[in-house]
Amino acid sequence: MKRNIYIKNTPLKEAIINFNQALDEIGYFCPAEEWIEVSQCLGRVTSRPVLSRRSSPHYQASAMDGIAVRAKDTFAASETTPVRLAENQYLMVDTGDYVPPPFDAVIMIEDVNFFGNEAEIVKAAVPWQHIRSVGEDLVAQDMIVPSSYRLGSYEIAALISAAVERVAVFRQPVVGIIPTGTELVASASPDMEPGKIVESNSYMLEALCREWGARAIRHSIVEDDWDKLLQAVREVEPQCDLLVICSGSSAGREDYTSAVIDHLGTVLNHGLAIKPGKPAILGLIGGKPVIGVPGYPVSAQLVFTLFAKPLLYRKQGLVVPDDEKLPCQLTRKIASPMGVDEFVYVNVAKIQDRYLAYPLSRGAGVSSNLVRADGVITISSGQEGVNAGDYSQVALMRPRHEIELSLVCMGSHDLCIDLLIDYLRRRHRIRLLSTNVGSMGGLMALMRGETHMAGIHLLDTERGSYNVGYVQRYLQGKNWRLINAVRRQQGLIVKKGNPLNITSLEDLLNPEIRFINRQKGAGTRILLDYLLKQAGLDPTAINGYNREEYTHLAVAAAVKNDACDCGLGIMASARVMDLDFIPLAEEQYDLCILTDLMPVDWVDRLMDALSSAEFRENLRKMGGYNLELSGQIIAASLL
> Interaction with a second copy in 405-434: which residues (CB under 8 A)?
418, 421-422, 425-426, 429
Q: Single out the residue of 183, 262, 460, 586 in contact with a second copy (rule: CB under 8 A).
A: 183
- Contact between 173 and a second copy (CB under 8 A)? no
Q: What is the chain's Cα-based Rg?
A: 34
Burial classification of residue 584, based on how many CB atoms lie within 10 Å of its CB (0-12 exposed, 13-18 middle, 19 or more buried): middle
Q: Check if the beta carbon of residue 60 is closer than 8 Å to that of residue 133.
A: yes
When the beta carbons of 95 and 632 are compared against a second copy, the nearer one is: 95
Rounded Cα gap, residues 514 and 582, in angstroms: 16
Q: Single out the residue of 138, 416, 475, 528 in contact with a second copy (rule: CB under 8 A).
A: 138
Rounded Cα gap, residues 426 and 467, in angstroms: 30
Residues 40, 175, 188, 363: is their CA dihedral positive or negative? negative
Cβ atoms < 10 Å from Cβ of 365: 14
- Contact between 511 and a second copy (CB under 8 A)? no
Tell me the backbone φ, ψ of residue 483, rounded to 5 degrees: -115, 130
What is the per-residue binding string for a second copy in 291-310, x denoting contact by CB under 8 A?
A: ----x-x---x---------
When the beta carbons of 18 and 250 are compared against a second copy, the nearer one is: 250
CB contact set of 6 (below 8 Å; sequence gap of 6+):
none
Q: Single out the residue of 37, 79, 81, 190 in contact with a second copy (rule: CB under 8 A).
A: 190
Rounded Cα gap, residues 506 and 504, in angstroms: 5
Q: Check if the beta carbon of residue 575 is closer than 8 Å to that of residue 386.
A: no
When the beta carbons of 400 and 478 are compared against a second copy, the nearer one is: 400
Q: Single out the residue of 58, 123, 263, 448 in contact with a second copy (rule: CB under 8 A).
A: 58
- Contact between 61 and a second copy (CB under 8 A)? yes
> Could you give the count of Cα atoms lying within 13 Å of 133 in the half-sphere of its Cβ?
5
When the beta carbons of 93 and 386 are compared against a second copy, the nearer one is: 93
Distance of closest approach, residue 553 Cβ to a second copy, in angstroms: 4
Site for a second copy in 330-349 (CB under 8 A): none
What is the per-residue binding string for a second copy in 352-391, x denoting contact by CB under 8 A?
A: -----------x-xxxx-xx--------------------
Rounded Cα gap, residues 454 and 437, in angstroms: 10
Cβ atoms < 10 Å from Cβ of 557: 18
Q: Single out the residue of 187, 227, 497, 613 in contact with a second copy (rule: CB under 8 A).
A: 187
Q: Check if the beta carbon of residue 345 is closer than 8 Å to that of residue 373.
A: yes
- Contact between 319 and a second copy (CB under 8 A)? yes
> First CA to last CA across the chain, in angstroms?
71
When the beta carbons of 415 and 458 are compared against a second copy, the nearer one is: 415
Q: Single out the residue of 17, 32, 86, 157 in contact with a second copy (rule: CB under 8 A).
A: 157
- Contact between 629 and a second copy (CB under 8 A)? no
In a 3-state reduction of DSSP, which class is residue 459?
A: strand
- Contact between 608 and a second copy (CB under 8 A)? no
When the beta carbons of 66 and 289 are compared against a second copy, the nearer one is: 66
In a 3-state reduction of DSSP, which class is residue 57?
A: coil
Q: Check if the beta carbon of residue 412 is closer than 8 Å to that of residue 522.
A: yes
The type of residue at 348 is V
Rounded Cα gap, residues 28 and 341, in angstroms: 28
Q: Single out the residue of 71, 395, 513, 576 in contact with a second copy (rule: CB under 8 A).
A: 576
Site for a second copy in 517-556 (CB under 8 A): 546-547, 549, 551, 553-554, 556
Site for a second copy in 63-92 (CB under 8 A): 63, 65
Distance of closest approach, residue 321 Cβ to a second copy, in angstroms: 6
Q: Single out the residue of 18, 129, 148, 510 in contact with a second copy (rule: CB under 8 A).
A: 148
Distance of closest approach, residue 536 Cβ to a second copy, in angstroms: 26
- Strand 113-115 and strand 83-85: the pairing is unpaired
Site for a second copy in 245-284 (CB under 8 A): 248-253
Q: Single out the residue of 317, 441, 455, 491 in contact with a second copy (rule: CB under 8 A).
A: 317
Distance of closest approach, residue 623 Cβ to a second copy, in angstroms: 13
- Contact between 144 and a second copy (CB under 8 A)? yes
- Contact between 188 and a second copy (CB under 8 A)? yes
- Contact between 482 and a second copy (CB under 8 A)? no
Q: Single out the residue of 132, 288, 488, 518 in contact with a second copy (rule: CB under 8 A).
A: 132
Helix (H) or strand (E) holding 233: helix 226-236
Tell me the backbone φ, ψ of residue 156, rounded to 5 degrees: -60, -45
- Contact between 200 and a second copy (CB under 8 A)? yes
- Contact between 557 and a second copy (CB under 8 A)? yes
Burial classification of residue 471, based on how many CB atoms lie within 10 Å of its CB (0-12 exposed, 13-18 middle, 19 or more buried): buried
Distance of closest approach, residue 461 Cβ to a second copy, in angstroms: 28
Rounded Cα gap, residues 458 and 590, in angstroms: 9
How many residues form the binding site for a second copy (CB under 8 A)?
122
Q: Check if the beta carbon of residue 465 is closer than 8 Å to that of residue 391.
A: no
Distance of closest approach, residue 65 Cβ to a second copy, in angstroms: 5
